[in-house]
Structure 1
Amino acid sequence: MRRYRRTLEAAALATALVVGTAGWASGTAQQPMTGPPPGSAAWRADRSLGLELPDPESASPSEVSAFFGGLSSPQERGLLRRHPGVVGNLDGVPLALRYEANALSVRRDSRFAHLAGRRLLAFDPRGRGLVAEVFGDLERSRRVAVVVPGSDIDAGSYDNPRNPYGTPAGMARQLRTATQERTAVIAWVGYTTPEGVGLGAATGELAEAGAERLVRFGDGLAAEGVATPSVFCHSYGSVVCGLAAARLKAKDLVVFGSPGMRADNVTALGTSARVWAAKDPSDWIGKVPNIRFLGLGHGTDPASEEFGARYVPARDARGHSGYFAPDTTSLRAFAAIAEAGGAA
């Protein structure tokens, strides 16, 4: 009888999740992007320099940085020409080389012609495509921010003129403008995001893979001497940030429109970063049940008092993607966090 009652309770919770989110089945299943950058097999086999190149899968960003620090300029450029896919996406490679390598890769792939002429810190054309674009002077800026997106974002949709404030590129532009261009901002689409409101959005599989990639990306920035960033995490991206929090090099974690961070409270995140949360009253994410059961759901609402995050006002934002709209209190607060490291 007790087992039967537990089964009924589990079924009720699962039903609440499905009904409360308009049906998880409306999404499309996605396979997370894992493993080393494109072209890694040829990279591993390359002995043109008379030495073994760092393994893209096992070498740490600091080890990659140290390796490139010992190369001459002609040696670096030879690797760039032979292996743009690895050089452009390997965390720890000098930033200028990554920009140039990704520009070369974009020119070779007509599907992503819209990315030509951009300063790309990552570009992986496999699957739906991954990309990271830099706005500002990342090498010299004393303040840096990273935007981590939620569902339905990839290399083709991360910058959409019809949604100028709701895509990561639009958010990055708005944040940079709001800081009077004193903050360099990275629009980071470095993981496979869910599509639609499907099981991918309800579970943590894609976020777990994304968290590993985000941590490595942060380590790569640190290895190249980039200032420790404030990380802004939208929607499902906040699940990624929650899972990465304990290992991610960040001075602030700012979540907005979050379904949960897979943690009961700020302490459970295990981070020394300041944690901030915003949710506007009109955001549909407020209708998502904040529970975690049998792998479904992402737990406590980070904007709730019980979670313990610092409050970010968002009363005049509109909907799920309006937090970076011009003249909103949320955008002004985000800019203050990015610039001052906390005073909003």
Structure 2
Amino acid sequence: MQVKPLLGQHHVSAITANAKENYRFYTKVLGLRLVKKSINQDDTSVYHLFYADERGNPGTDLTFFEIPHAGTTYHGTNSISLTSLRVESDEAISYWKKRFEEFAVEHDEIATKYGRKTIAFRDFEGQRLELVSDETNHGVLGGKPWDKSPVPVEYGIIGLGPVKLTVAQPEITAKILTDVMGYREKDSYQSNLNNHPPIRVFETGEGGTGGEIYLEERADLQSERPGRGSVHHVAFRVESEEELKKWVDYLKQLRLPNSGFVERYYFRSLYFREPNGILFELATDGPGFEGDESFEHLGENLSLPPYFENQRAEIEAKLKPLDTKE
């Protein structure tokens, strides 16, 4: 490869139809910190909300585009079908089971997956999520939960865990992961569905929960029809802008259609679709979320990248007010 291996997950971006309820669930129930209330830079009429650890360290962000008229998601292939979130210990998984019961969150029983304690759950729109214990994990370090969260720090979410891709033709996605993106195919584990192929495990960088991708083959399903509660894209970590520009050149040499370099202000990006149609993003670790707000006040006000400031009045007029200071 002419580029350095990717460092692991950067963020996952999903779709919600209700920013207010989304904010309540991810901050008051899951205890994540809203580190940035911004806009979808490709459609400034809708919010882009960033939830993460205490300061939005790379690898800890779960983000949402608000699309108020988003329809129902019909689950299927060529999709990001599960987002997992890391916690420090098996004890934390037990804590979360009780918390889900207390807040009437739809959830499964505690299970062991790939040697780790997990608990799968859904948000109010059916977003497919799972908590995974880092008790026996080695690899990419997690983040640091916000000490003002309603969830005790020792049980707090510390970042993104493995992300599952569900496809009809796994070999073409596997080839992109290994031959283009530098992932290593590490292992597999048995699907909990009868008579289905094992789910393949790929890892990058230092590996572990923060550097794994799961690849599931489902030839029995049609393509997913996304809506509220679905995932829009997954982003992977690149250490610097300089390295990202090498990726731009690298994909060009491979003749892989891509967005080219994209300025997102909080990080720099590059987008492309793997052959099954799932949208991948490569994103830099910096600059981060404190360029336009102090650490103490992250997420409290509507933040616009400088190149949108001259449109602030027009943008604010289109957005439904969302109080994030409470």
TM range (shorter): under 0.3
Using the size of structure 1 for normalisation, the TM-score is 0.25
Greater RCO (CA < 8 Å, at least 6 residues apart): 2
Using the size of structure 2 for normalisation, the TM-score is 0.26
- Greater strand share, structure number: 2
